[in-house]
Amino acid sequence: MSQTITALLRLREMILEGGLLPGERLSENTVADRLGASRTPVRAALARLAEEGLLLPIPSGGFAVRTFSEGEIRDSIEVRGTLEGLAARFAAERGAAPGDLAGLRDTVARIDAVVGRQRLSEADFAGYVELNEAFHAGLLELAGSSVLSRKMEQTVALPFASPSGFVLAQSALPEAVTILTVAQEQHRAVVEAIALREGARAEALMREHARLAHRNLALAMRHQHTLDLVRGGSLIRRRTHA
């Protein structure tokens, strides 16, 4: 692994896990000292994180850890939903082979085994996250578009836009099982629409599926202890009430 990638991964982890505080200013020298790395890979890592949206360039030099409003997060979720809807339409209209769809159906069946439990443990939620990521990755693969894959990679660089960005926060909510059940029914419906080559329906279903994240965001924003379960939650600006 290159020094730049190593620095990038470590810096991203520090930002998302709260090791670097929202608004904190970063310079090449201070980051290089903190990581024990040379300035060249650190410079590249800082620039990449600015491209991803986690850092903001400061006119006087250096960067600052960025924060995000609820509106910005909603916009990023909408962008992801639009791209995933397009992926579903591509998969349906271009014709997914039965063998390729079998993998997606298997993932849906494995999610059923988790969601069907009356009470979900922390391990169950972690398992759901893994399977949910596999479903969304499998859908993108079925689309067969390298252009779409690159755009999606850029979009989900922000953790709040990823398909599982707010799933763990649900573990603290009484609505958890209901939300996961609705999401799972949408997974199943998208797979069937693709199998039937119903492009418009598959696209609409996937865009609606992404909008569940809006509900999860609203629920998470109600309580700080719930927001703390969201990866990168410290970067979200909570609304102040007069």
> What are the extents of the domains in the chain?
3-65, 70-233
For the whole model, what pTM was predicted?
A: 0.83
- What letters, b where the CB count within 10 A reaches 16 and e where it falls short, cover 100-120? ebeebbebbeebeebbeeeeb
Q: Are 20 and 45 in contact (CB under 8 A)?
A: no
Q: What gap in Å lies between CA 14 and CA 112, rounded to an integer?
A: 34
- Architecture of the domain defined by 3-65: Orthogonal Bundle (1.10)
Q: Are 80 and 38 spatial neighbours (Cβ–Cβ below 8 Å)?
A: no
Residue 242, pLDDT > 70, answer no
Is residue 83 within 8 A of residue 148, CB to CB? The reply is yes
Instruction: Give 61-98 pLDDT, tens digit per residue.
Output: 889 999 888 888 889 999 999 999 999 999 999 988 87
Work out the burial of residue 84: count CB atoms within 10 Å of its CB; fewer than 13 is exposed, 13-18 middle, 19 or more buried: buried
Q: What is the DSSP letter of 167?
A: T
Q: Quickly state the pLDDT bin for 237 (edges 50, 70, 90).
A: confident
| SS3 label, residue 177 | helix
The tens digit of pLDDT for each residue in 93-121 reads 998 887 889 999 999 999 999 888 877 78
Q: Would you call 226 helix, strand, or coil by DSSP?
A: helix
Instruction: List the CATH code of the domain at 70-233.
Output: 1.20.120.530
